[in-house]
Structure 1
Amino acid sequence: MLAILDFFFRGHDLWFVALAAAVCLLSAYACMSLLRHAMRMTGRMRRIWTAVSAVSVGMGIWSTHFVAMLAFRPGFALQYDVLLTGLSLVIAISVCGAGLAMAIRGAGPADRFLGGAVIGVGISSMHYVGIAALLLDGQLVWDNGLVVASIIAGIILSGLAVVVATDGARSRLFGGVGLLTLAICAMHFTAMGASDFSNCMPLLGAMAPLDGGVISVIAALVSLFIIAAALGSIVLDEADRRRTERENLRQLADAERIASVSQKLELALTHMGQGLALFSAEGQLLLHNERLTELLGLPKGRLIEGEMLEDICRAAANLSDADEQSREARARELTEQHRALAAQGGQVIHSFEGQRFLRVQHNPTGDGRWVTLMEDITDTKRNEAAIAHLAKHDTLTGLPNRARFDELFDMALSEAAERETQIGIVAIDLDHFKDINDSYGHATGDQVLRVLAERLSNVLRPGEVIARLGGDEFVALKPFSVIESLREFLERVEGELFGSVQYQDVVIATSGSIGVAIYPQDGRDHSKLLSNADLALYRAKAEFETRVCYYESEMDEHARQRRAMANDLWQALENNAFNLVYQVQKSVSTGEITGYEVLLRWDREGYGPVSPAEFIPVAEECGAINAIGAWVLRTACTEAASWPEPHKIAVNVSGMQLSQIELVDLVKIVLYQSGLAPDRLELEVTETAIINDKKRALNILTQIRALGVSIAIDDFGTGYSSLATLRSFPFDKIKLDRSFMSEVEHSEQSKAIVRAILALGRSLSVPVLAEGVETIEQLDVLRLEGCNEAQGFFLGRPAAMDWEPSAALQRA
């Protein structure tokens, strides 16, 4: 080693040594950088860059050698053989190129080390061929140990240089460059230290030798190439670095995006409410989520990925309680069905004993595979069934409603016509149901309906139907062949209607009325039979001791008469066929006129005069009463406003009018249009009209009284005669019903009642008017008992007011 160092410092020009080291460093950098660049290429571009790298390192090694030889001072000028000098360059490029190719294509560090070792062989071969190119006379002596050391150093350091430089990190590149530079320098100077030139001298007379000057020019040109290659490699390396960074960033972004998408996909698959599966063209399950196994009812954690469609269908079929043969047949059926659907796309709904429903949809992907979506639609099916049930059943009682009853009725009629049997159509209505709602509240009424509906449903037998049409109206159907069967059914219904229902702390007694029509004798179509059953029901309600009433033809005639009268009432309104009469009201004590009661008269065309007691109920039933009442009020006020004497008029108001808030506006408008003073108008209402909706009626009366109109309670002493009604509203007059006057002359009981009502009026400071006074004796009793006013035939019959009030007073 000391000999080598002594040879290095005493036998070389250090400036050329430094230049050789610089050339070596540049060529090493170009080689390693281009090697890394070539490794990133593929195909033809890899071969091109491998060749460029081989030329760079080969020329760099060659240039380093000959620049270093310029630095060598053997004591005489060195000359070189042209052919061997050129051969040394070819050896450097080709052998190093082979090593580079081996390193580029290597699969691991060992392969790359072997490629680097070949480069070391190329360095050694180039050096010793270059030494052989010297034209010398004499014997060149070698130190074989140092020769071997130089070759080994070149091989090992070159191998390590390639391994380090190609390790991936950019910082390792410079480590590889340093090692390769060290390999070239160590090999060269060790080899030079192994040579002894003391017995050598220049060879004279050589043909066209290369002297040091030519070698210098060639080395300079090669160095320029190496510098260009190094600079090019720097540019390429920087470009590769930036491209690598961009690629790394892109790959990182792609990886993050893929990871995000994968995470979202996994979350979606895990938490989606549907089962998802991907099948291959052969029917093998490639992908699925956990929800699929749940919907199939398979054990949690069972691995079904990779199984065939047949296996999955068989597993689903095995969940049923059927025998093995049936389950196997079901599995085959399912497999065929779903393979057919998968081929063309579509969906199917599977029911599991009507308790669970799965919708399975197949969507082909176009390459033979298909995606399957499975959804549990049990709740949807239940909701649909519930909606369908609600559409045809009563929400309160659960009984069939009118729509469902119509369907069942039509089917029953068809069956009865086909079998030549009969049907009993039974209309049912609860007694005093409105009173239950008014007295105990609608919650109690609803409970009564529910309980009775349940009781009636419980006694039904096959073929029998009961439905709720609304309110407290029920209807039943009973197909029968003998009348005893219908009677037995009615007994069962009647037995459930008459009883009691307890709700909270209240016990409600229940009863009802029943009307019966029979197919085919009472009608053959739906509406006719229901109408006739209703007619029988009305008769049952009207007759106190009758619970069940069968339809009779006379009922139909009576109904037709009422319909005809209703039609004539509407015609009378249009034709202004009504007229008014007035019955005088007088003071009992003085005999002075206190007012007139307005009475409606109707001379029905073709029938003559019709009593209000007959046509007013029909008007209320058909809805004409509001229009008739408005006409009476308007006409009476207009006529009274034209009288010379300002007498008060009393106009009756029906219960239906009193239920309409528009009555207040009607009174305002009529008073305004007629010009009648409000204190000349008195409205008469019955307690029955008030009690139907007491709160609403009293509110309307309060508003009317605020206009200055007086309010009288009519027919007092009949109906409810509730003191609470008198206490709840400050009536301006009490009208004593005419029924008490007929016996007041000789009946102490009647006289006592009259006396009590008069005393009540005095205690409340409300005047009392007695109706139906027809004799002087009756008037005397009233005078004796202190009655305020009276009216009746004895005081004046109802008549039209087409004469002067003074004449009317004289006649009265």
Structure 2
Amino acid sequence: MPIVDFFFTSHAPGLIVLAATICLISSYACIGLLRHAHRSTGRMRNVWTMVAALAVGFGIWATHFVAVLAFRPGFTLNYDLWLTALSLLIAILVCGAGIAMAIRGTSAQDRFLGGAVVGVAISSMHYAGIAALIMGGSLDWNPALVATSIIAGISLGGLAFVTGMGGSLRRVVGGALLLTLAICAMHFTAMAAADFSRCFPLSVSGELDGFWLSIALTFISILLLALALGSSVLDEADRRRTARERERELRDAEQISAVTNKLGLAMTHMAQGLALYDAQGRMQLHNQRFPAMLGIDPGADLSGISFRETCRLTIIGTGEIPADLDERLTNVLDNHMPLIERGGDIVHTFSEDRVLQVSHSPIGNGSWVTTVDDVTERHRSQRAIAHLARHDGLTGLPNRARFNESFDWALAKAIENGEQLAVIAVDLDHFKEINDSHGHAAGDLVLKTLAARLNGLLREGEVVARLGGDEFAALKIFSSMDALRDFLVRIEATLTRRVESDGLTVALGGSIGVAVYPDDGRELSKLMSNADLAMYRAKAEFDRRICYYEHDMDEQARQRRDIARDLWTAVENNGFSLAYQVQKSVASGEITGYEVLLRWNRPGHGNVSPAEFIPIAEECGAISAIGVWVLKMACLEAASWPEPCKIAVNVSGIQLAQIDLIDTVRNSLFMSGLAPHRLELEVTETSIIGDKNRALHILRQIKAMGVSIAIDDFGTGYSSLDTLRSFPFDKIKIDRSFMNEVESDEQSKAIVRAILALGRSLSVPVLAEGVETREQLDVLRKEGCTEAQGFLLGRPGAIDWNDRLEPGLRA
């Protein structure tokens, strides 16, 4: 109550309001600048600390002296200049110390302590300012109120700093109000503690009168207002910057969280195993796939373990510790450490179902990233591709490339052990007929079954391969001929076993040719060529399945190659000629036509029999060109004859399989002008059976032109009645082999009689070939044969138009 009474009775109200306003402005500026300094760093923090100290120091000082001006002690007060200045300096410096303590503190206690120091500054400045009053007499003090004033300044100052350094604007205002209250409470309580009743005015030199003090206070008030406005602006800017920073931090936190979640999902679900190691080789990060792919216990804690320990756990896996663990671990580290330093990858094969590729990528600071890929399927595919590249896709046997490699291996081993090496060529008999009769699926089944059987009979030093189609090859390292013969017998036994599956029964057979290193050759190509020659000899001889290479086979092969070469030369240079053998009626002896026969006078060798060079022409492919030439020349010559005799031209099976034969016949007739009914084509039943539907289609097209079709060598091939039924042949020719003993052998006579009866029943004329005796002719006449040809009737050669009838054939 004394304080309240003193406040209202001893002060001018207007100046009191001014003092409170100055105090509030300075307090607000101090709290704002205090917060700004707290957010600053480095040198700027010191600058803003000094500015805040100036704001509150000037505010305390101005508040004090304005309040003193408002005090009415009953006489005029004057002030000592230096003590007044000292009081201002005390306010600024001590407040600066308290503000610095609050800014650098980390807790509320530190902030309270800083505010308490500012409270000390308020008290110190006040009593220094009272000491600056110039007056006489003695000033009495109330100790209780003095203590209350100091405690009020210290406690309220500490609370002001704790409140004002909070986050919101409300706390800024609250801190400013508390600091204002601290200054005012301390000042007026201290003024109430002083008793001026025994004091009187004095006048001394160096005093500061009220006018100049008012000027100074006005300047300070303006400065404080500016500082308050500046602190308000700074505080608003800080709030906006803080809001932006908080918004940016939230946004960054969201982005970091999203990236972290995505990274976590990616690492969890990525197909690779991934681990990050630091420069000391310690694991910093890994995903779930990493230990799972390496076979490490998924429950094991891998954080911080070394790369060496990772390798050790991989070797151990979930099983027992191997006895050679240290040795294996050393080998693994020796393989991986260079890759960790420079980067690279290595493939580890743990089992058939687990092949891993481990890659190391250095980061640059000594750390690295290790990734683990499961390449089991890729490795399996590569092995499968490599296997297919060296093995037959159908049978699984080694192919030609693998066979060549096996030969090199077998040859080196045979030489090393002083042994011999046999190269064996195997070819199935009549395999094409199996495909034609039962289909290609059956043919594939036969090949796979045969391959499995051949593969099952192999022993050490033996190899079997499929080179293509029905062509197989084998190798045998042997030291005695008995061992080689045993291997060949096993192959032969396999070739003759039947193949039975799903109602299909196929009887197999094959031909085997053998060439032996080094007697029959030193290179694979030479040995294979010689083995093929021996195999073809075995195929040609019906009573032999196995044939060894003989040196004269090379001579025969060379002769066949020379003949083939000369045949092509003859085709290019028109080196052939035609001969004609007459065909006559058995009953009347009249000429019914001529068979066209091919003749070849080989340069340097003389005339070569068609039986010798026609098979070679068929092998080398020259038969088609020769056939075209024969047909064209025969039609041209026949068209120039004075009488319209019929000609018969033989057509090979190869020609009959080609659709071009139709155009060849048509063009030959057109270019020569020969009437179609004067041309007769002779085909064998064997050539038709190869592709019956195709052959009969071609023959029907030719027959539609008006050309006659005769079936040649009837009785020696299939002699299928179905063939005669399927196509209306214009003539049947009995093969010459039945005429050799027809006059003395009843069986031959019976066959001829049967063929003639067949011809009569089908209304097809029959011509007998190879008639060389009058007895044979008499038999044919007696049995009712239509036509005949042979040496008895006329030898092949040029036609003598002056004498075209043999006297012995006249009626």
TM-score by length of 1: 0.84
Does residue 53 of the first structure (1) align with residue 55 of the second (2)?
no
> Equivalent residue for 1:225?
223
Amino acid in the other structure paired with 2:443:
G
> Equivalent residue for 2:755?
753
Distance 2:4 2:671 in 1: 141
> Equivalent residue for 2:37?
38
Distance 2:372 2:703 in 1: 72
Give the C-alpha shift of residue 659 in structure 1: 4.2
Contact 2:514 2:534 in 1 (8 A): yes
> Equivalent residue for 1:495?
493
Deviations 1:51-109 (A, max 9, x none): 11111222223233334445556666554332332222212211211111001110112
Contact 2:297 2:317 in 1 (8 A): no
Question: Mean Cα displacement is larger for which, 449-458 or 353-362?
Answer: 353-362
Deviations 1:435-491 (A, max 9, x none): 222222222222222222222222222112222211122222222222222222222
Deviations 1:675-710 (A, max 9, x none): 7788887765544334334455566667x5599575
Change (3 A) 1:320 1:154: closer
Give the C-alpha shift of residue 577 in structure 1: 0.5
Distance 2:757 2:586 in 1: 15
> Equivalent residue for 2:551?
553
Amino acid in the other structure paired with 2:626:
I
Q: How does 1:602-751 map to 2 (within 5 A)?
A: 602-636=600-634, 651-660=649-658, 685-694=683-692, 697=695, 708=705, 712=709, 714-715=711-712, 718-722=716-720, 733=730, 735-739=732-736, 742=739, 747-751=749-753
Change (3 A) 1:668 1:233: farther
Change (3 A) 1:810 1:776: closer
Give the C-alpha shift of residue 621 in structure 1: 0.9
Give the C-alpha shift of residue 287 in structure 1: 4.2
Query: How many correspondences in the alignment?
Result: 798
Change (3 A) 1:450 1:64: same
Give the C-alpha shift of residue 332 in structure 1: 3.8
Distance 2:186 2:628 in 1: 133
Change (3 A) 1:103 1:768: farther
Secondary structure of residue in 2 paired with 1:510: coil
> Equivalent residue for 1:463?
461
Question: Mean Cα displacement is larger for which, 533-542 or 371-380?
Answer: 371-380
Contact 1:566 1:619 in 2 (8 A): yes
> Equivalent residue for 2:326?
328
Q: How does 1:50-449 map to 2 (within 5 A)?
A: 50-72=49-71, 78-136=77-135, 147-169=146-168, 172-191=171-190, 194-195=192-193, 199=197, 203-318=201-316, 326-336=324-334, 338-339=336-337, 342=340, 348-352=346-350, 357-362=355-360, 367-449=365-447
Change (3 A) 1:425 1:196: closer
Change (3 A) 1:679 1:67: farther
Distance 2:132 2:591 in 1: 165
Contact 1:678 1:707 in 2 (8 A): no
Distance 2:710 2:9 in 1: 150
Deviations 1:274-295 (A, max 9, x none): 4444445554444444444334
Change (3 A) 1:740 1:490: closer
Deviations 1:763-812 (A, max 9, x none): xxxx6664638587688679x68x7x8877788876668x99x9989999
Q: How does 1:476-495 map to 2 (within 5 A)?
A: 476-495=474-493
Distance 1:663 1:210 in 2: 144
Change (3 A) 1:699 1:250: farther
Contact 2:703 2:709 in 1 (8 A): no
Distance 1:749 1:697 in 2: 27
Deviations 1:656-681 (A, max 9, x none): 34445565666677677777788887
Secondary structure of residue in 2 paired with 1:306: coil
Contact 1:714 1:734 in 2 (8 A): yes
Contact 2:716 2:735 in 1 (8 A): no
Give the C-alpha shift of residue 125 in structure 1: 3.0
Contact 2:76 2:201 in 1 (8 A): no
Amino acid in the other structure paired with 2:115:
G
Question: Mean Cα displacement is larger for which, 168-177 or 58-67?
Answer: 168-177
1:534 is aligned, of 523, 532, 535, to 532
Distance 2:182 2:650 in 1: 133
2:448 is aligned, of 442, 447, 450, to 450
Q: Could you say what the CA RMSD is over the residues aligned between the two structures, in angstroms? A: 4.3
Change (3 A) 1:20 1:436: farther
Amino acid in the other structure paired with 2:554:
D
Structure 1 unaligned regions, length at least 5: none
Contact 1:109 1:163 in 2 (8 A): yes
Amino acid in the other structure paired with 1:130:
G
Give the C-alpha shift of residue 605 in structure 1: 2.0
Distance 1:557 1:326 in 2: 65
> Equivalent residue for 2:769?
772
Contact 2:64 2:187 in 1 (8 A): yes
Secondary structure of residue in 2 paired with 1:601: strand
Distance 2:268 2:674 in 1: 83
Change (3 A) 1:670 1:77: farther
Give the C-alpha shift of residue 427 in structure 1: 2.0
Question: Mean Cα displacement is larger for which, 118-127 or 374-383?
Answer: 374-383
Deviations 1:213-266 (A, max 9, x none): 333322221122222223333343344344444444554454445445544544
Change (3 A) 1:430 1:221: same
Change (3 A) 1:209 1:420: closer
Distance 1:266 1:211 in 2: 78
Secondary structure of residue in 2 paired with 1:300: coil
Change (3 A) 1:400 1:91: same
Change (3 A) 1:554 1:14: same
Distance 1:706 1:9 in 2: 150
Give the C-alpha shift of residue 644 in structure 1: 8.4
Question: Mean Cα displacement is larger for which, 46-55 or 633-642?
Answer: 633-642
Contact 1:310 1:332 in 2 (8 A): no
Question: Mean Cα displacement is larger for which, 585-594 or 500-509?
Answer: 585-594
Change (3 A) 1:78 1:487: same
Change (3 A) 1:88 1:304: same
Change (3 A) 1:759 1:160: farther
Contact 1:78 1:202 in 2 (8 A): no
Change (3 A) 1:468 1:137: same
Secondary structure of residue in 2 paired with 1:428: strand
Question: Mean Cα displacement is larger for which, 665-674 or 76-85?
Answer: 665-674
Contact 1:135 1:202 in 2 (8 A): no
> Equivalent residue for 2:520?
522
Change (3 A) 1:62 1:355: same
Give the C-alpha shift of residue 573 in structure 1: 1.4
Amino acid in the other structure paired with 1:115:
G
> Equivalent residue for 2:508?
510
Change (3 A) 1:206 1:688: farther
Contact 2:732 2:759 in 1 (8 A): no
Deviations 1:574-629 (A, max 9, x none): 22202345667899999999987654332222333333332221111112223323
Distance 1:372 1:89 in 2: 70
Amino acid in the other structure paired with 1:63:
A
Amino acid in the other structure paired with 1:499:
R
Distance 1:80 1:221 in 2: 18
Distance 1:132 1:519 in 2: 133
Secondary structure of residue in 1 paired with 2:507: strand
